[in-house]
């Protein structure tokens, strides 16, 4: 009887551990802009952003990164400056935290944009895999060719190519959306928990019989 109790308790512990929320992939992102050179990998709303690099050109000395949450399952990466007045290429990675968005959740869409201060001319091209989204600012008009859809991956590598021509550009922005979050434990976990509950029920019935 004691052996059965221990086995059932062990099964229940395993089942609860299987459905427990995992530790974050990284520390929470700051709610304030962080200078590009001081930025460290971080997580917001189950999106883990990492490995920011400038692979060509240079950003202004005051350029900062701000990682924000627009809503449930939507995250933004903003590169901000008093004026993004030099061309550069930036790469980084985005991944879903499985402890927050378990399978079959995926990164589904991505979009890009620029915030201009008056009449300006610049182009931002975001590339994920074989797909690209172009945002062009000409004078006072911004035009977006995106969004990128059908990404359907749990982690992606992003490349932003920013080409500056003239005027004041204050913000280069990327947004990412998650889709199809898992709301129930996996079948194996459900079976494990079910077995544990049946075992506990059997123990309770034996106790009642012994009392009678």
User: What is the model's pLDDT at position 103?
Assistant: 87
Residue among 51, 4, 45, 13 nearest 28 (CA) = 45
| CA pair distance 114, 111, nearest whole angstrom | 11
Contact indicator for 155, 165 with CB cutoff of 8 Å: no
Alpha-carbon distance of 53 to 62, in angstroms, equals 16
pLDDT at position 203, please? 53
Q: What is the pLDDT of residue 15?
A: 45
Mean pLDDT over 32-50 rounds to 95
- Answer whether residue 114 shows pLDDT above 90: yes
**Cα distance between residue 106 and residue 103, in whole Å:** 8
Interval 52-69: pLDDT, tens: 999 999 999 999 999 998
DSSP character at residue 22? P
Q: What is the DSSP string of 46-112?
A: TEEEEEEEEEEE---TT-EEEEEEEETTEEEEEEE-S---S-EEEEEEEEE-TTTS-TT-EEEEEEE
More confident residue, 181 or 149: 149
Write down the domain spans for the chain.
34-179
Cis status of the peptide bond prior to 147, with omega within 30 of 0:
yes
pLDDT, position 70: 82
Name which residue leads in pLDDT, 166 or 5. Answer: 166
**Cα distance between residue 54 and residue 172, in whole Å:** 14
- Indicate the DSSP class of residue 25: S
Residue 188: which H helix or E strand, with range? helix 187-211
Tens-digit pLDDT profile for residues 9-34:
444 444 444 444 567 889 999 999 99
Q: Which CATH code for domain 34-179?
A: 2.60.120
pLDDT level of residue 7 (50, 70, 90 thresholds): very low
């Amino acid at each position: 009887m004691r052996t059965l109790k221990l086995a059932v308790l062990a099964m229940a512990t395993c089942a609860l551990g299987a459905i427990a929320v995992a530790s974050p992939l990284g520390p929470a992102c700051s709610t304030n802009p962080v200078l590009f050179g001081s930025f460290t990998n971080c997580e917001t709303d189950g999106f883990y952003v990492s490995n920011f690099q400038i692979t060509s050109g240079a950003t202004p000395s005051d350029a900062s990164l701000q990682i924000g949450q627009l809503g449930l399952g939507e995250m933004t990466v903003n590169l901000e400056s008093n004026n993004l007045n030099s061309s550069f290429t930036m790469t980084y990675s985005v991944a879903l935290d499985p402890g927050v968005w378990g399978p079959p959740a995926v990164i589904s869409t991505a979009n890009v944009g620029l915030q201009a201060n008056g009449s300006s001319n610049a182009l931002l091209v975001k590339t994920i895999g074989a797909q690209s989204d172009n945002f062009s600012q000409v004078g006072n008009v911004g035009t977006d060719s995106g969004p990128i859809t059908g990404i359907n991956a749990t982690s992606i590598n992003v490349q932003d190519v920013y080409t500056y021509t003239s005027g004041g550009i204050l913000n280069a922005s990327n947004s990412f959306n998650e889709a199809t979050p898992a709301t129930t434990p996996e079948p194996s976990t459900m079976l494990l928990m079910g077995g544990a509950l049946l075992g506990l029920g059997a123990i309770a019935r034996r106790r009642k019989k012994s009392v009678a």
